Amino acid sequence: MLQASFIFKAAIRRTAWTVVAIGGASSFSTAVAQAQVVDRAASYYHYSLGHMYADLASINNSPEYIRKAIENYKLAIKEDPQTPMLGEELSELYIQTGRLREAQSDAEEALKANPNDVNAHRMLGRIFTRQIGDSQEHRIDESMLKKSIEEYKKITELDPKDIDSWLMLGRLHKVAQNSVEAQNAYKKALAIDPDNEDALTGLAMVYADLGDSTAAADLLKKLSAKNPSPRSLQALAVAYEQMREFALAAETLKRTLDLNPPNAAELKKLMAVDLRKAQQLQAALKVYQELVAEEPGDAESYLHMSNIYTQLRDFAKAREAGDKARAIEPNNLEVRYNEVAILEQEGKTPEAIARLKEILDTTAKKNYSKEERENRILLLDRLSGLYRMSDQTEPAVEALRQVGELDHDRDAAVAAEIIGTYRLGKDLPKAQRESDAALKKWPEDRALRVVHAEVLADLGKTDAAAAEMKKLLDGKGDREIYLELAGQVYDKARRFDEEAKALDGADKLSVSKEEKINVWFQRGAMYEKMKKIDLAEAEFRRILELDPDHAATLNYLGYMLADRNVKLAEALTLITKALDKEPNNGAYLDSLGWVYFKLNRLPEAEENLRQALLRTPRDATVHDHMGDVLLRESKVKEAIAQWQFSLQEFEAGSAADVDPADIAKVKSKLEGAKVRLAKESKPNN
């Protein structure tokens, strides 16, 4: 598959050196050489010697052989400066032997004698390009990138028909994110050769970068129809992936496999990934089964099989495939973590925590490599999340503090997460202390300023919170600030007119489908709290027209219908569909329990609410719902306990998050249950 990295495949090495060639020819002192008569026989003699010495050097890395190889290549170029391949091989020799400074010095000397020596410019272009780095790993030397672009601009000025240099210039501009210049360079190459595959695929990728994935796909479809090569089809698959048309990407990769490419196993894995993203899980599973049948030691494919079985909630097969992966690679961190993921999806959070702690303990070291440190940070982040899910606030915070110890560049971000964890755990005094201290330490950090305002809103200081948020409206991230202002400040204070204005501001700045849906969802929730149910329902149905699988909307609309005791069959369908997307979501399990209660299917209602409480043990509403179910089942004492828990959680949380009417209802139900219990406990006269 073509990757968006700084790897150029414009030419193939023609010597024993196994490397990727990335440009045209180069030679030295061309002005002097061109004045001489071309002696191809002498050139070939020296070329043969140079090639032989290069081969010998590649075997035993002898400095003497390297020197002789370079010397003979130079003599070959001197006798025949018109054959590009000679300069290309000399360039590669310099590069592969690490003699970049020597090559640069030779080229610069040639340019002093003749500033328009195109082959010397090619040499410098190749040398500079080699030192740019890897954009995929975010290691780009901007200085070298700029110098490379300058050299290839000069080359194309001196030799406008040099298609390889136009292609290179297009690649370089793409790395520099100069999409317009990259587009122009590829079009210049196509003017020379309209069917050039490199230029067509390069131009298509530029269109994709510019957000015009349709134009990219159209271009590649034409290329693949005219010349259905593995390369053109793979490029088309990449374009479909960027368009998020994963089913089409998988289908295109299948067409590629029909051509029997040499990298079939790699393409099968990529196809399986696309099938998973297209939610064609059984088809993806079949591909992975074929891969492990062909290569029984393929731990990665077993791991992906385990992931799919987990999604399908077939935990026995998930564990079986995971065990096979671990038998092959027992120390693979991803393979070991897979069991944590299975336990989490089974709803076994304590066991998942224990297994994850075991992984962290057994991989602990005094010093970590960069990769080890990043992996450990990911695991600690996940551990913190599991602790939050199980209402263990302090252990969650401690895991985050360990992240900060591993990478002090993340200190401000970690502080924001710690504040959020205390807010979720309803410990507002600690959230306030942490946010005040963090803001003093990093007063200009945008995320901390946002979270500090959120804490003020939690404390009921709406005007102060709104003022802090509004200071962040600077034309850069205004959409996100409007959403925070709406959902985290005005919504809590039930200042719906101001919330509506903030949502309108976010809506105007929303471009993508996802951005629009996010705003509409918040507006629907606002209408529901305002008791404008028809408007709320219209907003949610508007979302489902655009995205029928939007889980949060499916749940909210289903819950809203159930709460009003209307369209219960539809409510059940909507909520069940949401849970198919997120089987362990506590809020969705509560909604399912509630619709079952409304349908008077009490055992199912109780079971789902118990599952919800396992995942959201401090949700006052879930405890309230459980009380209703238990009372209808005549479990009066248990119902009373649930309503008492509900009131405790209401009181423990932010006053800004609580509707006094909800508290009043719970108190009324609690008192009624107590009266009923007293009557039932009274001995018969």
The Cα 138–Cα 136 span in angstroms is: 5
Tokens of 385: 């999340």
Q: Quick check: 165 pLDDT over 80?
A: yes
The larger pLDDT score, comparing residue 52 to residue 502, is at 502
pLDDT of residue 557: 97
Q: How far apart are the first and last CA of the chain?
A: 85
Q: Quick check: 137 pLDDT over 60?
A: no
The Cα 392–Cα 272 span in angstroms is: 38
**Assigned domain for 684 exists:** yes
C-alpha separations of 192 from 160, 166, 180 in Å: 9, 10, 19
Structural domain harbouring 99: 1-194
Name which of 552, 566, 621, 618 is nearest 593 in CA terms: 621
> The domain that contains 660 carries what CATH number?
1.20.58
Number of domains in the chain: 2
Instruction: pLDDT band for 84, please (50, 70, 90 cuts).
Output: low
Per-residue pLDDT tens digits for 58-70: 777 778 888 888 8
Tokens of 278: 């297209």
Q: Quick check: 220 pLDDT over 80?
A: no
- Listed residues 194, 222, 247: the one ending a domain: 194
Q: Quick check: 33 pLDDT over 50?
A: no
Give 543's Cβ-side CA count (13 Å radius).
Answer: 26
**Assigned domain for 104 exists:** yes
Per-residue pLDDT tens digits for 594-633: 999 999 999 999 999 999 998 888 899 999 999 999 999 9
The larger pLDDT score, comparing residue 12 to residue 685, is at 685
Name which of 172, 167, 179, 126 is nearest 149 in CA terms: 172
Query: Of the spans 5-14, 33-42, 670-679, which averages the highest pLDDT?
Result: 670-679
Q: Quick check: 34 pLDDT over 50?
A: no
The Cα 127–Cα 263 span in angstroms is: 30
**Assigned domain for 253 exists:** no
Per-residue pLDDT tens digits for 228-257: 788 778 877 877 887 778 998 999 999 999
**Assigned domain for 167 exists:** yes
DSSP class of 485: I
The Cα 356–Cα 377 span in angstroms is: 12
Q: Quick check: 424 pLDDT over 70?
A: yes
The Cα 537–Cα 517 span in angstroms is: 14
Q: Quick check: 125 pLDDT over 50?
A: yes
pLDDT of residue 138: 52
Instruction: pLDDT band for 134, please (50, 70, 90 cuts).
Output: low
Helix, strand or coil for residue 390? coil
The Cα 77–Cα 103 span in angstroms is: 14
pLDDT of residue 139: 67
**Assigned domain for 6 exists:** yes
Share of the chain above pLDDT 70, in %: 93
Q: Quick check: 30 pLDDT over 50?
A: no
Q: What is the biggest distance separating any 2 CA atoms in the chain, rounded to whole angstroms?
A: 130
**Assigned domain for 649 exists:** yes
> The domain that contains 85 carries what CATH number?
1.25.40.10
C-alpha separations of 561 from 552, 571, 623, 661 in Å: 14, 6, 20, 20
Q: Name every residue whose Cβ is closer than 8 Å to that of residue 261 and which is 6 or more positions away in sequence.
A: 230, 267
pLDDT of residue 42: 85
Q: 464: alpha, beta or left, given left = phi > 0 and alpha = psi -120 to 50?
A: alpha
The Cα 289–Cα 604 span in angstroms is: 37
CB 299 within 8 A of CB 335: yes
CB 433 within 8 A of CB 461: no
Q: Quick check: 1 pLDDT over 70?
A: no
pLDDT of residue 69: 83
| Residue 664: Cβ within 10 Å count | 10
Q: Quick check: 559 pLDDT over 50?
A: yes
Tokens of 535: 């408007």
Q: Quick check: 136 pLDDT over 60?
A: no
| Residue 161: Cβ within 10 Å count | 11
CB 357 within 8 A of CB 349: no
Indicate whether this model's pTM tops 0.75: no
What value does the mean pLDDT take over residues 23-37? 40
Q: Quick check: 682 pLDDT over 80?
A: no
pLDDT of residue 3: 30
- Listed residues 161, 179, 194: the one ending a domain: 194
Share of the chain above pLDDT 90, in %: 59
What value does the mean pLDDT take over residues 371-393? 94
Instruction: pLDDT band for 37, please (50, 70, 90 cuts).
Output: low
Name which of 655, 662, 652 is nearest 393 in CA terms: 652
Mean pLDDT rounded to a whole number for the chain: 87
pLDDT of residue 239: 73
Give 509's Cβ-side CA count (13 Å radius).
Answer: 16
**Assigned domain for 566 exists:** no
pLDDT of residue 684: 64
**Assigned domain for 280 exists:** no
- Name residue 21's beta-bridge partners: 11
Least confident range from 138-142, 413-417, 507-511, 659-663: namely 138-142
Per-residue pLDDT tens digits for 266-314: 999 999 999 999 989 999 999 999 999 999 999 999 999 999 999 999 9
Residue count (the chain): 685
- Listed residues 194, 210, 230: the one ending a domain: 194
Q: Quick check: 24 pLDDT over 50?
A: no
Strands (E) located in 129-232: 133-134, 139-140
Name which of 651, 573, 584 is nearest 616 in CA terms: 584
Per-residue pLDDT tens digits for 425-444: 989 999 999 999 999 999 99
Residue 643 dihedral angles phi and psi, to the nearest 5°? -70, -30
Per-residue pLDDT tens digits for 343-363: 999 989 999 999 999 999 999
